[in-house]
Amino acid sequence: DQQVKQNSPSLSVQEGRISILNCDYTNSMFDYFLWYKKYPAEGPTFLISISSIKDKNEDGRFTVFLNKSAKHLSLHIVPSQPGDSAVYFCAASAGGNNAGKSTFGDGTTLTVKP
């Protein structure tokens, strides 16, 4: 039972346009959500996060939206740049005894075309 799902394996957008990456989760105990970016032959790099008490968090070109009732979050990248081409992982974690244990989706490969 996959608790974090990224249903789009790949996404291709034109440079300058918006990229929207989606993520769904099933575990209602998750209270912290993160997006990581991964380039080939490198480990994942933290991009942006959001707590379950918020519905939006913005950092420069990156914005994460959280819809708790739908158990859905999305990452918006505006404007998209060729350097944003990478695999993006959605991750979630719960507090309490499960703090620090992150559950990842299978990733979405973003390609930004010049």
Partner 1 sequence: DAGVTQSPTHLIKTRGQQVTLRCSPKSGHDTVSWYQQALGQGPQFIFQYYEEEERQRGNFPDRFSGHQFPNYSSELNVNALLLGDSALYLCASSLYIGTDSNQPQHFGDGTRLSIL
User: Which residues sit at the interface with partner 1, rule CB under 8 A?
Assistant: 4, 6, 31-32, 34, 36, 41-46, 49, 51, 89, 91, 93-107
User: 14 or 39, CB closer to partner 1?
Assistant: 39
Residue 89 beta carbon to partner 1: minimum distance, rounded to whole angstroms: 5
Neighbours of 105 (CB within 10 A): 22
Q: Which residue lies nearer to partner 1 by CB, 15 or 106?
A: 106
Burial (CB count <10 Å: 0-12, 13-18, 19+), residue 65: middle
- What is the rounded (10 degree) CA torsion for 25, 29, 31, 32? -50
Nearer to partner 1, 57 or 74 (CB): 57
